[in-house]
Chain A
């Protein structure tokens, strides 16, 4: 299995532009997570999907952020409009519960820079 695949690996954009990050989870995993990582705040959970349904989006910073999972093999995280403070590494992770606990498998991340 190729693992969790994210694209693009790097994204540089200007303030105000729309940014779309993409994720292909591991086949058979029914949970998908979007995380953001910064030096100041570490890893923060943005949104959690189970069986393609958003279960917890309480970590989404504001209405500029939205996420979708149209099917079991694809998810997007969109930022519109983007701001410099959105600059971070965004990770997608998928998992299959093991005795009630999610063991996360992370993608390699998207390094986002908003100028």
Chain B
């Protein structure tokens, strides 16, 4: 079993839709959870970063962590064409440099 599993998609939604992106993981030692957004021909950029379980909101984006189920989600409200990108989850154990990335989900938001 891979440490981090992420559905590669592609996911195509109309503008204004609510988008749900998900990752599952197997290593219970992961403590920090991140979402990176990667536009075509660009490097990943950190979108959100959470520690432990619960929700974190930043504008139209909400990151959710359920440690008991080893499941993390990123919700995008009122999705925009500019949200079209690949979204990668990443996680790491405490005080560690080695992020474990999912392979990414390709999202297209159609105007």
Contact = CB atoms under 8 A, between A and B. Distances in A.
Nearest to A50: B97
A103 B49 contact: yes
Nearest to B104: A42
Contact size range, B: 20 to 34
A98 to B, nearest CB: 8
Interface string A84-115: 00000001010000001111111111010000
The size bracket of the interface on A is 20 to 34
Contacts, number: 52
A100 B95 contact: yes
Nearest to B43: A106
Given A42-B102, A42-B104, A45-B99, A106 B92 contact: no
B94 interface: yes
A108 B38 CA distance: 10
